[in-house]
A and B are shown apart, each in its own frame.
Chain A
Amino acid sequence: MDDLYRDFILEHYKRPRNFGELPAHDHDAHEVNPLCGDELGVQIVVADGRIADLRFQGHGCAISQAAASMASEELIGMQLDEAATLDAGWMLDLLGIPISATRRKCALLSLKVVRHALTGDGSWPGEPDS
Protein backbone atom coordinates (compact mmCIF):
# COMPACT_ATOMS: atom_id res chain seq x y z
CA MET A 1 0.00 0.00 0.00
CA ASP A 2 1.43 3.36 -1.07
CA ASP A 3 1.17 6.10 1.61
CA LEU A 4 0.22 8.78 -0.89
CA TYR A 5 -1.63 6.88 -3.60
CA ARG A 6 -4.11 5.22 -1.26
CA ASP A 7 -7.05 3.32 -2.71
CA PHE A 8 -9.52 6.12 -1.98
CA ILE A 9 -7.24 8.72 -3.63
CA LEU A 10 -6.98 6.65 -6.80
CA GLU A 11 -10.69 5.92 -6.69
CA HIS A 12 -11.52 9.65 -6.58
CA TYR A 13 -8.91 10.33 -9.29
CA LYS A 14 -10.33 7.75 -11.66
CA ARG A 15 -13.98 8.57 -10.94
CA PRO A 16 -14.05 12.19 -9.73
CA ARG A 17 -17.32 13.33 -8.14
CA ASN A 18 -19.04 16.50 -9.25
CA PHE A 19 -16.94 17.15 -12.34
CA GLY A 20 -18.77 18.75 -15.25
CA GLU A 21 -20.52 22.01 -16.04
CA LEU A 22 -23.24 24.11 -14.40
CA PRO A 23 -24.11 26.55 -17.18
CA ALA A 24 -26.42 28.52 -14.86
CA HIS A 25 -24.37 29.37 -11.76
CA ASP A 26 -23.91 32.15 -9.23
CA HIS A 27 -20.14 31.99 -8.76
CA ASP A 28 -17.20 30.73 -10.81
CA ALA A 29 -13.44 30.95 -10.91
CA HIS A 30 -10.54 29.40 -12.79
CA GLU A 31 -7.04 28.76 -11.48
CA VAL A 32 -3.72 27.48 -12.78
CA ASN A 33 -1.13 25.59 -10.74
CA PRO A 34 2.09 27.40 -11.70
CA LEU A 35 4.16 24.34 -10.80
CA CYS A 36 2.78 22.17 -13.59
CA GLY A 37 0.33 24.25 -15.62
CA ASP A 38 -2.64 22.18 -14.43
CA GLU A 39 -5.94 24.01 -14.60
CA LEU A 40 -9.05 23.83 -12.47
CA GLY A 41 -12.31 25.75 -12.74
CA VAL A 42 -15.38 25.71 -10.52
CA GLN A 43 -19.02 26.73 -10.94
CA ILE A 44 -21.23 27.14 -7.87
CA VAL A 45 -25.00 27.47 -7.49
CA VAL A 46 -26.23 29.10 -4.25
CA ALA A 47 -29.59 28.65 -2.55
CA ASP A 48 -30.70 29.68 0.95
CA GLY A 49 -27.19 30.72 1.96
CA ARG A 50 -25.74 27.34 1.10
CA ILE A 51 -23.80 25.80 -1.75
CA ALA A 52 -26.67 24.06 -3.51
CA ASP A 53 -24.57 22.61 -6.28
CA LEU A 54 -20.98 22.70 -7.48
CA ARG A 55 -18.98 21.34 -10.41
CA PHE A 56 -15.26 21.34 -11.11
CA GLN A 57 -13.73 21.40 -14.59
CA GLY A 58 -10.12 20.78 -15.51
CA HIS A 59 -7.36 18.28 -15.33
CA GLY A 60 -4.46 17.53 -13.08
CA CYS A 61 -2.53 15.00 -11.11
CA ALA A 62 -4.10 12.36 -8.88
CA ILE A 63 -3.62 14.51 -5.79
CA SER A 64 -5.29 17.63 -7.20
CA GLN A 65 -8.15 15.69 -8.82
CA ALA A 66 -8.84 13.58 -5.75
CA ALA A 67 -8.71 16.69 -3.55
CA ALA A 68 -11.28 18.42 -5.75
CA SER A 69 -13.51 15.37 -5.82
CA MET A 70 -13.39 14.85 -2.06
CA ALA A 71 -13.85 18.56 -1.35
CA SER A 72 -16.89 18.69 -3.62
CA GLU A 73 -18.69 16.13 -1.49
CA GLU A 74 -18.13 18.23 1.63
CA LEU A 75 -18.86 21.58 0.01
CA ILE A 76 -22.27 20.78 -1.48
CA GLY A 77 -24.78 21.72 1.21
CA MET A 78 -22.25 23.76 3.22
CA GLN A 79 -23.16 27.23 4.51
CA LEU A 80 -21.48 29.92 2.36
CA ASP A 81 -19.92 31.69 5.34
CA GLU A 82 -18.40 28.43 6.52
CA ALA A 83 -17.10 27.57 3.03
CA ALA A 84 -15.52 31.01 2.70
CA THR A 85 -13.38 30.48 5.79
CA LEU A 86 -12.00 26.99 5.01
CA ASP A 87 -8.22 26.87 5.33
CA ALA A 88 -5.40 24.64 4.20
CA GLY A 89 -5.68 22.50 7.31
CA TRP A 90 -9.26 21.58 6.41
CA MET A 91 -8.19 20.37 2.97
CA LEU A 92 -5.14 18.45 4.20
CA ASP A 93 -7.16 16.77 6.96
CA LEU A 94 -9.82 15.83 4.46
CA LEU A 95 -7.21 14.24 2.18
CA GLY A 96 -5.70 12.36 5.09
CA ILE A 97 -2.43 11.55 3.33
CA PRO A 98 1.08 12.96 3.88
CA ILE A 99 1.50 15.90 1.50
CA SER A 100 5.07 17.02 0.85
CA ALA A 101 5.95 20.67 0.32
CA THR A 102 6.29 20.11 -3.43
CA ARG A 103 2.78 18.66 -3.71
CA ARG A 104 1.07 21.15 -1.41
CA LYS A 105 -0.24 23.28 -4.27
CA CYS A 106 -1.65 20.18 -5.95
CA ALA A 107 -3.61 19.45 -2.77
CA LEU A 108 -4.81 23.03 -2.29
CA LEU A 109 -5.70 24.04 -5.86
CA SER A 110 -9.38 23.07 -5.57
CA LEU A 111 -9.85 24.95 -2.29
CA LYS A 112 -8.08 27.95 -3.80
CA VAL A 113 -10.44 28.07 -6.75
CA VAL A 114 -13.53 27.66 -4.54
CA ARG A 115 -12.41 30.46 -2.22
CA HIS A 116 -11.70 32.61 -5.26
CA ALA A 117 -15.20 31.97 -6.60
CA LEU A 118 -16.94 32.70 -3.29
CA THR A 119 -14.86 35.56 -1.88
CA GLY A 120 -12.84 37.01 -4.77
CA ASP A 121 -9.68 36.18 -2.81
CA GLY A 122 -7.42 34.32 -5.24
CA SER A 123 -4.55 33.78 -2.81
CA TRP A 124 -3.35 30.33 -1.73
CA PRO A 125 -5.20 29.02 1.33
CA GLY A 126 -3.14 29.54 4.45
CA GLU A 127 -2.81 27.62 7.68
CA PRO A 128 -5.29 28.32 10.51
CA ASP A 129 -4.65 31.77 11.99
CA SER A 130 -1.89 32.47 9.48
Chain B
Amino acid sequence: MTTPHTFRVEGMHCGSCALLIDDTLADLPGVEDAQTSMKHALSTVELDVSRTTPQDVIEAIAELGYRASTVP
Protein backbone atom coordinates (compact mmCIF):
# COMPACT_ATOMS: atom_id res chain seq x y z
CA MET B 1 0.00 0.00 0.00
CA THR B 2 1.65 3.26 -1.11
CA THR B 3 0.90 6.81 -0.05
CA PRO B 4 2.10 10.09 -1.62
CA HIS B 5 4.89 11.92 0.24
CA THR B 6 6.22 15.33 -0.75
CA PHE B 7 9.80 16.46 -0.19
CA ARG B 8 11.41 19.85 -0.70
CA VAL B 9 14.67 19.47 -2.67
CA GLU B 10 17.29 22.21 -2.89
CA GLY B 11 20.40 22.45 -5.08
CA MET B 12 19.01 21.27 -8.45
CA HIS B 13 20.40 23.20 -11.43
CA CYS B 14 18.86 21.51 -14.46
CA GLY B 15 16.24 19.05 -15.64
CA SER B 16 18.77 16.22 -15.42
CA CYS B 17 19.03 16.74 -11.63
CA ALA B 18 15.29 16.08 -11.28
CA LEU B 19 15.62 13.02 -13.50
CA LEU B 20 18.58 11.71 -11.50
CA ILE B 21 16.56 11.99 -8.28
CA ASP B 22 13.54 10.23 -9.84
CA ASP B 23 15.77 7.54 -11.30
CA THR B 24 17.51 6.92 -7.97
CA LEU B 25 14.31 6.88 -5.93
CA ALA B 26 12.70 4.46 -8.41
CA ASP B 27 15.42 1.96 -7.53
CA LEU B 28 14.51 2.02 -3.81
CA PRO B 29 12.26 -0.82 -2.59
CA GLY B 30 8.70 0.32 -1.95
CA VAL B 31 8.89 3.34 -4.29
CA GLU B 32 6.20 3.03 -6.91
CA ASP B 33 6.70 6.39 -8.58
CA ALA B 34 8.73 9.58 -8.10
CA GLN B 35 8.09 12.93 -9.79
CA THR B 36 10.61 15.69 -9.15
CA SER B 37 10.20 19.25 -10.39
CA MET B 38 13.21 21.51 -10.58
CA LYS B 39 10.98 24.55 -11.00
CA HIS B 40 9.00 23.90 -7.83
CA ALA B 41 11.95 22.31 -5.98
CA LEU B 42 9.62 19.47 -4.94
CA SER B 43 9.68 15.72 -5.21
CA THR B 44 6.45 13.71 -4.92
CA VAL B 45 7.03 10.06 -4.10
CA GLU B 46 4.51 7.21 -4.00
CA LEU B 47 5.95 5.34 -1.06
CA ASP B 48 5.30 2.08 0.80
CA VAL B 49 6.55 3.17 4.23
CA SER B 50 6.76 -0.42 5.46
CA ARG B 51 9.68 -0.94 3.03
CA THR B 52 11.28 2.52 2.74
CA THR B 53 10.73 5.40 5.15
CA PRO B 54 10.60 9.12 4.28
CA GLN B 55 13.95 9.41 6.10
CA ASP B 56 15.44 6.80 3.71
CA VAL B 57 14.22 8.94 0.79
CA ILE B 58 15.81 12.06 2.29
CA GLU B 59 19.08 10.19 2.77
CA ALA B 60 19.03 8.81 -0.79
CA ILE B 61 18.54 12.35 -2.16
CA ALA B 62 21.24 13.72 0.16
CA GLU B 63 23.69 11.07 -1.04
CA LEU B 64 23.23 12.45 -4.57
CA GLY B 65 24.41 15.84 -3.30
CA TYR B 66 21.09 17.67 -2.83
CA ARG B 67 19.36 18.87 0.35
CA ALA B 68 15.96 17.33 1.03
CA SER B 69 13.35 17.76 3.74
CA THR B 70 9.77 16.61 4.26
CA VAL B 71 6.95 18.99 3.40
CA PRO B 72 4.31 18.88 6.14
Bound together: no
State the B residues within 8 Å of A (CB).
none
State the A residues within 8 Å of B (CB).
none
